[in-house]
A and B are shown apart, each in its own frame.
Chain A
Amino acid sequence: MYREYRTIEEVAGPLMLVRNVDGVKYDELGEIIMPSGEVRRCRVLEVNGSDVLVQLFESSAGLNLEYSKVRFTGHGVELPVSREMLGRVFNGMGEPIDGGAKLIPEAVRDINGTPINPASRKYPSEFIETGVSTIDGLNTLVRGQKLPIFSGSGLPHANLAAQIARQAKVRGTDEKFAVVFAAIGITFEEADFFISDFKKTGAIDRTVLFINLASDAAIERISTPRMALTAAEYLAFDCNMHVLVIMTDITNYAEALREVSAARKEVPGRRGYPGYLYTDLATMYERAGRREGSTGSITMIPILTMPEDDKTHPIPDLTGYITEGQIILSREIYRKGYLPPVDVLPSLSRLKDKGIGAGRTREDHSGTMNQLFAAYARGKEAKELMVVLGESALTPVERLYAKFSDEFEARYVNQGFYEDRTIEQTLDLGWELLHILPKSEMKRIKPAILEKYW
């Protein structure tokens, strides 16, 4: 069996130094046996001669240098996976906490995964109908995309995520669909909101939940999203299911990472976050996608709260550089009472162009989308001008644009969390709103399409 060491030398924050070990490998999973017999887990962060630096996944409370023992397991952090995970609830380290039977694993996977070979990725192009106009119509989501929600404290991002999970479908198919939900350091109430929403709609039977609450060990959060993604990969690529992964809140994850980095006294990057935050986030986000050899897919919606609503903060900033677009929530729209409060202009879906148009949504989608964006942007500019100079300073056309932008927010953006609009309803609504403007302003729409739908 594995050797046990009683040579713990130092414990500081989430880190522990063990001396005089032999044959321990980098990134290996270790187990700390407490004097009480309780077992806690840890991971090797650095091998330096006969010393190893390990990172604890749980609190260090009660750890005793004299009597605690460490043993190393000879493998990395792993998650037993199985189809039976659907409908179950796990803690942040992948242990069932719903009181159900023990899982009989079909496979055991390393939670770090391996990079997908770019030569074997399949390009995401299947339109997912979320029933939300601002997403379907303007920032279309496709299967295998990673599209984060950038939110702020006090904004209803949870409701939007739940709405997407509830309504998302690919039309004309009845393929197997699953949700993997990772709660990363969120409050009980927020987690409970999701769970009860999933229960209410019956979605719970096709959902796997990984819950790390705010009261759980912060350091456990580093594993939680990877546990969830490992389960998602198994369901998607081994069981050929279409998996929607919702992870909330990435900001808590990044903070846990910063805690470990600071304890290691690493040279910090921006705002104290480690220089490898980009790489670290990318190894999670890039696990979304579709690949050859499987019909399944992983579509990812990470949620993060931007500190002070600042989009240039390292977490949203680096996320935006990795993900394929972003849905940004706006406090201003929220204050107007419009739900979901999506800030249309800075939101973006990079993969929309391959997912829309004739045969996927409708031929007029691309043109109307660009026209709505342009018109809304112009309308908002006109309104700004109006604030400074008064309405009389606007040209008649600009006044129409200002009216358009008001109507657009009140009817297109505002739909509530329980209205499920089909893509046709969304597109028709777009046309209806565009009628506020003169036909000659429709410069972004191809003449043939304009004639047919105007």
Chain B
Amino acid sequence: MTEGRIVKVSGPLVIAEGMREANMFDVVRVGEMNLIGEIIEMHGDRASIQVYEETAGLGRGDRVVSTGAPLSVELGPGLMENIYDGIQRPLVAIKNAVGPNITRGVDLPALDREKKWYFEATAKRGDHVVGGDIYGVVKENEVVRHKIMVPPGTEGEISELLSGYYTVTDPIGKLSKPDGTTEDIIMMQKWPVRVARPYKEKLPPNEPLITGQRNVDSMFPVAKGGTACIPGPFGSGKTVVQHQLAKWSDADFVIYIGCGERGNEMTDVLLEFPEIADPKTGSSLIKRTVLIANTSDMPVAAREASVYTGITIAEYLRDMGCSVAVIADSTSRWAEALREMSGRLEEMPGEEGYPAYLTSRLAQFYERAGMVRCCGSDERIGALTAIGAVSPPGGDISEPVSQATLRIVKVFWGLDSSLAYRRHFPAINWLNSYSLYKDRLAPWYEKNVAADWMAQITEAMRILSAEAELDEIVKLVGIDALSASDRLTLEVAQSIREDFLQQDAMSPDDSYCPPEKQHDLLALILYFRDAASRAISGGADIEAISELAVRERIGRAKSAPTAEYKREFAAIRAEIDAEIASLGGKR
């Protein structure tokens, strides 16, 4: 326990002397209020400390005590349905303890120490276990079976292990270690947030994260274990897209990090998720969700830590052999927190004042995603998908955070404010977005959804880019100059945009669209295209085709309830045939 004294206070940065024996990245308690801080630089016996709470009231000579341990998270039963701040303090418990506003120096354990969980042993006495092996399970709620694992780096023979009701810190058994000592087995693990949890090997991702969003699954899919980013100016619907992904992703767990964003958005998640049924389990979505909230009015230093806290919890859940999605909104605020600390440390700034290590920090964060063979003897596979929002100033993605992110991630969903003004949501620009997983994931879709999946998507993309070219011509010479088939292309592209790409997050039947329905919906639009195209070569009038009544019905097809959409789609096809045929008849 090193104890030092404050010599300098400048915003969230505190410098203390007499800290020679403290370690880099140790957590320290600062001042009379025991504020939590972390050592980020050492100069002789002076330590630079970033303090995770408001520092008003600190002064020279105040005490700083090192805890001798790095910033860590507590991992074990009780994580689910919880909302934490950036350094994993439980916000609901804080509310119950100190009232509706967050006061300083609150010290509550992240995992409830009182609550007893039923631990069911699956390993038995005499088993030899290594890090990652499973002692047993705790049924945390109706959806989550929380596997209690041997912490990484631990090895030995179980000399005692009993099922029963325990708190997270009660001994559930004893482990004889190779060096002859024995230690108690407890359910809770601790892990330093800045260190990635180990795994056996990384695997190339080959399965899509199904999100129920047509723009994502069909157009720009992300793999389980992949990385994606959503840059967009304000008002372009970033947060709605993020919420949709958090709601409908077919991951076993979702970690939602609200990093420097609006308080009401976190409240929205907190209030809404318990009400929504998970399409996979039928139980409420909150059961599999952990929220990390550092809203924009909460201390800025904890913002820097919040993404690490979130991804460490995600890695722990991944280690159980599960698929986990981490959704961070927004990494720009995290980068700004880095910039602020860097400025206070008087470091030489890089581009736009951001520190020179911005890119490497971002890369380290996204590299913690991936599909892995987990530690332990049973060869489980886990996947961690990382999705980050970026808030570029003025919507201009040439700024450093967007550019650094784009160099790392494989999927880019570019949001466009001109689409948002037209109330085209999600406002993902189909012309400049991309997914580098598209080809790798094609076999999965072709096997599990439809054989013509890729062909159909490619065709749709071709029509959309043809539209962009034709639009240029229309702007110059007017629509009358186009041939009938080009005008049909425009009509079909409009249909793809409005009837397929637009998806209403508020509509109960459209908010989640399963891949098969996505495929059939696009097939329906292309079916119309083919029928109309035949009619045009037979001499039908394009004006008449564009005014067919069935087109409105195609427009409403996406909101057909999932259970009965097939019948509706078949009926629409029949109507397309009938109306196109009647065109031919009239002529």
Given contacts A320-B234, A325-B235, contact A278 B296 (CB under 8 A): yes
A23 and B32 alpha carbons, distance in the complex (Å): 13
Name the one of A23, A285, A291, A324 contacting B100, with C-beta atoms under 8 angstroms. A291
Question: How far does the alpha carbon of A282 sit from the alpha carbon of B260 in the complex, in Å?
Answer: 9
- Cβ-closest chain B residue relative to A48: B8
On whether the beta carbons of B296 and A26 are closer than 8 Å, the reply is: no
**Among candidates A118, A269, A294, residue contacting B352 with C-beta atoms closer than 8 Å:** A269
**Are A282 and B297 within 8 A (Cβ)?**
yes
Any A CB within 8 A of the CB of B396: yes
Known: A114-B102, A117-B91, A293-B100. A278 touches B297 (CB 8 A): no
**Residues of B contacting A124 with CB < 8 Å?**
264
Q: Which residues of A contact B103 (CB under 8 A)?
A: 114
| Residues B393 and A312 in contact, CB atoms below 8 Å apart | yes
A324 to B339, CA, bound (A): 25
Set of chain A residues within 8 Å of B55, measured between Cβ atoms: 26-27
> B262 at the A/B interface (Cβ < 8 Å)?
yes
Whether B95 pairs with A120 at a CB distance below 8 angstroms is yes
Q: Which residue of B lies closest to A322 (CB)?
A: B296
**A100-132: contact bitstring with B at CB < 8 Å (1 yes, 0 no)?**
000000000010111111111111100000000
Minimal beta-carbon separation of B473 from chain A (angstroms): 12
Residue A205 interfacial (CB < 8 Å): no
Residue of A nearest to B58 (CB): A26
Complex: A90 Cα to B47 Cα, angstroms: 44
Query: Does A200 have its Cβ within 8 Å of any Cβ on chain B?
Result: no
- Give A124 to B262 CA distance when docked, in angstroms: 13
Q: Which B residues between 200 and 217 are near A, CB-CB below 8 angstroms?
A: none
Which A residues touch B300, using CB under 8 A?
276, 279
Point out the residues of chain A lying under 8 angstroms from B258, CB to CB: 118
A345 on the B face (CB < 8 A): yes
A118 close to B293 (CB less than 8 A): yes
**Which one of A76, A121, A237 contacts B264 once the chains associate, using CB atoms below 8 Å?**
A121
Q: Does B83 have its Cβ within 8 Å of any Cβ on chain A?
A: yes
B60 within 8 A of A: yes
Q: Is the CB of A123 within 8 A of B267?
A: yes
Pick the most buried of B9, B94, B233, B475: most chain A CB atoms within 10 A of its CB. B9
Q: Which of B100, B235, B263, B349 is A320 in contact with, Cβ under 8 Å?
A: B235
Residues of A within 8 A of B395 (CB): 312
Among B10, B263, B340, the one with the most A-chain Cβ atoms within 10 Å of its Cβ is B263
Across the interface, which residues of B come within 8 angstroms of A285, CB to CB? 296
Within A421-454, which residues are at the interface with B (CB < 8 Å)? 440, 443, 447
Q: Write the nearest CB–CB distance from A128 to chain B, whole angstroms.
A: 15
Please measure, in the bound complex, the distance between the C-alpha atom of A6 and the C-alpha atom of B102, giving whole angstroms: 38
Taking a contact as CB atoms under 8 Å apart, the answer to whether A393 and B479 are in contact is: yes
Interface stretch (choices A173-181, A240-248, A370-378): A370-378
A248 vs B394: C-alpha distance when bound (angstroms):
22
Contacts A27-B56, A279-B296, A351-B264 known; A118 to B61 CB distance under 8 Å? no
Q: Does A25 contact B (CB under 8 A)?
A: yes
Would you call B336 and A278 a contact (CB within 8 A)? yes
Residue B478 is within 8 A (CB to CB) of chain A in the complex: yes
| Nearest CB in chain A: distance from B181 CB, A | 42
List which B470-518 residues lie within 8 A (CB) of chain A: 475, 477-480, 498, 506
A120 to chain B: closest residue by CB: B100
Q: Within the complex, what minimum Cβ distance (angstroms) separates B9 from chain A?
A: 4
- Cβ A117 vs Cβ B102 within 8 A: yes
Nearest CB of A to B437, in Å: 29
Residue among A25, A123, A374, A385 making CB contact with B59, cutoff 8 Å: A25
Q: Which residues of the partner chain A approach B263 to less than 8 Å between Cβ atoms?
A: 115-116, 118, 121, 286, 289
* Distance in Å: Cβ of A154 to nearest Cβ of chain B: 23
B66 CB to closest chain A CB (Å) equals: 21
- Bound complex: CA of A411 vs CA of B105, how far in Å? 56
Q: Distance (Å) between the CB of B108 and the closest chain A CB?
A: 12
Q: Type the 1/0 row for A257-296, where 1 means its CB is closer than 8 Å to any CB of B.
A: 0000000001111100001101100110111010111100
What 0/1 readout, one digit per residue, does chain B (100-122) give for beta carbons within 8 Å of chain A? 11111000000000000000000
State A165–B9 Cα separation when bound (angstroms): 42
Q: Are B91 and A46 in contact (CB under 8 A)?
A: no
Interface set, chain B 327-366, CB cutoff 8 A to A: 333, 336, 339-340, 343, 349, 352-353
CA distance A325 to B59 in the complex (A): 40
Q: Min CB distance, A370 to chain B, in Å?
A: 6
Residues on the A chain within 8 Å of B143, using CB: none
Contact B267–A118 (Cβ < 8 Å)? yes
A394, chain B: closest CB distance, angstroms: 9
Q: How far is the CB of B73 from chain A (nearest CB, A)?
A: 18
Q: A114-B102, A118-B266, A279-B296 are in contact. Are A317 and B394 (CB under 8 A)?
A: yes
Is A28 among interface residues, defined by CB-CB distance under 8 A? yes
Q: Are B102 and A115 in contact, CB atoms less than 8 angstroms apart?
A: yes
User: Is B555 close to A, CB under 8 A?
Assistant: yes
**Closest partner residue, chain A, to B333 (CB atom):** A278
- Residues 23-67 of A, flagged 1 when their CB comes within 8 A of B and 0 if not, give 111111000000000000000011111100000000000000000
Q: Separation in Å of the A262 CB from the closest CB of chain B?
A: 13
Per the bound structure, the CA–CA distance linking A447 and B92 in Å amounts to 43
Partner of B478, one of A112, A311, A325, A393: A393
Contact of B101 among A22, A28, A115, A317 (CB under 8 A): A115
Are B8's CB and A116's CB within 8 A?
A: no
* B residues near A76, Cβ cutoff 8 Å: 56-57
With A24-B60, A267-B343: A123-B480 Cβ-Cβ less than 8 Å: no
A358 contacts chain B at the CB level, 8 A cutoff? no
B472 to A: closest C-beta gap in Å: 12
B165 within 8 A of A: no
Cross-interface CB contact of A49 among B60, B92, B336, cutoff 8 Å? B60
Identify the interface centre among A47, A285, A447: most chain B CB within 10 Å of its CB. A47
B7 lies within 8 A of chain A by Cβ: yes
Given contacts A46-B8, A312-B395, A26 and B57 within 8 Å (CB-CB): yes
For residue B69, CB closer than 8 A to chain A, the reply is no
Contact with A along B259-299 (1 / 0, CB 8 A): 01011101110110000000000000000000001011111
A321: CB under 8 A from chain B? yes
Pairwise interchain contact B296-A117, C-beta atoms closer than 8 A: no
- A345 and B267 alpha carbons, distance in the complex (Å): 27
Q: Mark B290-321, 1 if CB is under 8 A from A, else 0.
A: 00010111111000000000000000000000
Decide if B423 is an interface residue (CB 8 Å cutoff).
yes
Partner of A292, one of B100, B498, B549, B556: B100
Task: Assess the A321–B391 pair: CB atoms within 8 A.
Answer: yes
Determine if A395 is an interface residue (Cβ-Cβ < 8 Å). yes
- The answer to whether A440 and B352 have CB atoms under 8 Å apart is no
| Nearest residue, chain A, Cβ from B347 | A267
Tell me, yes or no, whether A70 is within 8 Å of chain B by CB: no
What distance in Å separates the Cβ of A5 from its nearest Cβ neighbour in chain B? 14
B504, chain A: closest CB distance, angstroms: 9
Kindly state the separation between the CA atoms of A94 and B90 in the bound complex, as whole angstroms.
36
Contact B83 A118 (CB under 8 A): yes
Not counting A25-B57, A25-B58, A117-B102, a sample of 9 additional A-B residue pairs whose C-beta atoms are within 8 angstroms of each other reads A25-B9, A46-B10, A116-B297, A119-B293, A123-B268, A294-B100, A346-B421, A440-B549, A443-B555
Point out residues on A near B: beta carbons under 8 Å: 22-28, 45-50, 76, 110, 112-124, 144, 237, 266-270, 275-276, 278-279, 282-283, 285-287, 289, 291-294, 311-314, 317-318, 320-322, 324-326, 345-346, 348, 350-351, 353, 366, 370, 373-374, 377-378, 385, 388-389, 393, 395, 440, 443, 447
10 contacts between A and B (CB under 8 A): A27-B57, A46-B10, A119-B91, A275-B353, A276-B300, A282-B297, A291-B101, A292-B95, A313-B394, A320-B233
